[in-house]
Structure 1
């Protein structure tokens, strides 16, 4: 029986004897020693209260660092091109690599990398031209593939790579797209543009103009683009943004284009007889469902997500009423894996928004908070992350990578002390086995780990390996502080410096599959060579 429980029982029984004992409590980070002193009844009560509060504090800290928490960053196309004012591939690759490395070292675990902006491509596309941000000219091959580089780099570091995909934006700029190969979709299909209530297409401005979600050909084009991406690239997720009608859609009557109006007024195009607003919501929902089914049919381990408006329906700027976006319906239909409401708000309003999403989405782990770091001071950002944990959300995504410059270490020290797995998945001993022949040995100032790939793995293969450590042979997945590292699923070895683990004598390893399921830990291995304090 733990010492503090013994004292508790003694107090309840009204014991009035004195204790002459040494009380020693060990945890991973706490050491308390009370040496040979007499304790009367009041002292016993005080000691029990102190010990109880201490254990409560330890448990709270463990909850403060979840084992499963998606910790993401959004890296926009402007972060790695426009803001750097260069088209030099080496410079852009260097920025991407350095940012991913900083994210890994700060214990983030996912990157949402923008590869489609306004019907242009930051990858080798069959259907849309290379972005001018890569070379200065629309359609010009830059001589390298940013998405391929991002996927390879992320996976080498044990990070997830989600393709950030601007969905309905057709163009951005006051001048139309120039001639290119492939021809830009807006040049081919100007009739796809959203129209206002008078049937007039959106005019080109410095902001986005959008394709109409109610036009079937638009949806078919987007599905082809998605299929092209997921068949060519080993991505972990497809992440939709601007998956809605444009700003002020309700006020300006978007989209009264000819095709949408004809479909709305026909039995075939509106078999349920929905009103205009509900019909427009249904166009978005239909596309989400088609995209989800497409992705899962080809690679079922790819996670489908969406960045959505930060408030569902309770403010002047909300998803449901203003831009006809209904994420709750997507969840009800089981056609989205997780949502990221962009809650770029002050702390008080941020908390109110979390409560709103928890009311409408039954599984709060399916909601990640979008945090607008660019408009917060670091104390506010820290508080917002803590609120995501208080309300048991599935994690958070920070906008954007540029805003984290100079703040990575603050996040690591205050919020991300231990590595974590992304949210979703479970312990699966049926379809996923731990690696075989796990061995640990010292080499100079390092501890080296070696293993063989698991004999049993689910479809899609290994995503990563989870290396665990502990001062005792009882190594579990319940304590995040037991995680030494999350490493690439392509590796069969890893090296760690003594300095970080010299107090830990036992090590184990788990397999993480592409569905984010985790094997049971391998049999713990003790490092035979004595480790000395540096």
Structure 2
């Protein structure tokens, strides 16, 4: 895949302004932003890096936080309930020995901080654009840092909404009078549907600039320890593909296939975000948490001995190349299968990734499927044997035995509070926090 420097020497950030007259559409005001450097990224020191003991804390659909009941409370009660729920979670994570929280600050086209680019998230108040009365990201950073824990701001780059219901469309359209309005109304020509969601088309250069500016806003304003993108790049399902034919016609010249062009687009975003973060604050780590399989060996001799859904072929994310090019401080593949799952064995994938990062400066953290612990499964019965502890132990043992694996991240936080996982939670506490 070719890598090209962006068409301009300047990265633009979008400060959103509404026109004074309500009959006029809102406009983006393009303002200068840090130049996109052409020099190599600075080297990444691995000194003084304790093993990663992380957990993902999801806010999309209120999966882990905030509490659903808090949304309908009075403003004062809502704030106190949400803040107490978060500090309770951090207290528990601290007792388990967790040292890093991956906090989902952009679950879709909305924000969990007072953004000048995105409207407030409806996960907080039930209404897109409504000020929750406090800054959740700042609160999380203050409380986590107070406890000696790190926070990585977790972004879903392209998702605008989790569904395409008429009520969702109405809510997005209603942000027209907000400042800022949703990208759904501000840049309607960027919006596509895929997997029954509204998404931003990754092939549009200005859309990639926009995503970069969202990340830059957080890195400039907050003392985050890291930034992470999850695996939602090109997201499609068989009955709900992304129609980017016109975008391909406009920007895809010179590519042998749409697939190659899509992978190129994804890499351009990663490169642009990586450089921007390093220019703003070299100490902020940038990482990606992709699907566990890069490519299957049946499709590529460099791939893993697996037969699972592959990031390269399905999300158009050449995650291995990003590591090789030094675009990431860390990669956290989601290796969400047990040792006995022949299609995608845990040990096969963990060792494959360890070999990929070995000649590079990219750290490797393995994402572990804590959400499967205690859940009966015909294909993966190991998760229920003795509360899932033997399987979990094997995975953590392997992670700690391979020198090129630098830690583990558990998916996801609320499963630490479920009855079926309590034996495994006790095990984690004993292992990570010495009892």
One of 237, 244, 260 as aligned partner of 1:256: 244
With over 3 angstroms needed to count, the CA separation of the structure-2 counterparts of 1:186 and 1:242, relative to structure 1, is: farther
Q: Please name the residue that 2:96 is paired with.
A: 106
Equivalent residues in 2 for 1:169-248 (5 A)?
169-173=159-163, 174=165, 175-176=168-169, 177-180=172-175, 181=178, 182-194=180-192, 201-202=193-194, 205=196, 208-248=197-237
Alignment deviations for residues 146-177 of structure 1 (CA, whole Å, 9 cap, x no partner) = 10100111111111110011111121122312
Q: Please name the residue that 1:372 is paired with.
A: 369
Alignment deviations for residues 249-284 of structure 1 (CA, whole Å, 9 cap, x no partner) = 8x976452423321102xxxx4xx443222211111
Cα distance in 2 between the residues matched to 1:363 and 1:388: 18
Cα distance in 1 between the residues matched to 2:153 and 2:260: 29
SS at match of 1:367: strand
Cα distance in 2 between the residues matched to 1:323 and 1:146: 30
Cα distance in 2 between the residues matched to 1:141 and 1:253: 34
Return 5+ residue gaps in structure 1 as ranges: 1-65, 195-200, 419-534
Cα distance in 1 between the residues matched to 2:49 and 2:201: 41
Q: Please name the residue that 2:31 is paired with.
A: none
Q: Is 2:394 the partner of 1:383? A: yes
Q: Please name the residue that 2:139 is paired with.
A: 149
Q: Please name the residue that 1:115 is paired with.
A: 105
Q: How many residue pairs were aligned? A: 337
Q: CA deviation at 1:335?
A: 0.9
Q: Any conservation in 2 of the 1:138–1:178 contact (CA below 8 Å)?
A: no
Q: Any conservation in 2 of the 1:312–1:356 contact (CA below 8 Å)?
A: no
Equivalent residues in 2 for 1:315-464 (5 A)?
315-348=307-340, 349-363=345-359, 366-377=363-374, 378-379=388-389, 380-392=391-403, 393-405=405-417, 406=422, 408-417=425-434
Q: CA RMSD in A?
A: 2.3
Q: Please name the residue that 1:498 is paired with.
A: none
Q: Please name the residue that 1:85 is paired with.
A: 69
Q: Whose Rg is larger? A: 1
Runs ≥4 in structure 1, deviation > 4 angstroms? none
Q: Is 2:130 the partner of 1:140? A: yes
Q: Please name the residue that 1:97 is paired with.
A: 87
Q: CA deviation at 1:178?
A: 4.2
TM-score by length of 1: 0.60
Alignment deviations for residues 105-125 of structure 1 (CA, whole Å, 9 cap, x no partner) = 222110100110111011110
Higher relative contact order (CA 8 A, sep 6+): 2
With over 3 angstroms needed to count, the CA separation of the structure-2 counterparts of 1:168 and 1:387, relative to structure 1, is: same
SS at match of 1:71: strand
Alignment deviations for residues 217-255 of structure 1 (CA, whole Å, 9 cap, x no partner) = 110111111111111111000011144201348x97645
Alignment deviations for residues 274-298 of structure 1 (CA, whole Å, 9 cap, x no partner) = 4322221111111101001000001
Name whichever structure is richer in strand by fraction. Answer: 1
Return 5+ residue gaps in structure 2 as ranges: 1-47, 72-77, 297-306, 375-387
Q: Is 2:151 the partner of 1:161? A: yes
Name whichever structure is richer in helix by fraction. Answer: 2
Alignment deviations for residues 53-81 of structure 1 (CA, whole Å, 9 cap, x no partner) = xxxxxxxxxxxxx9831110101112454
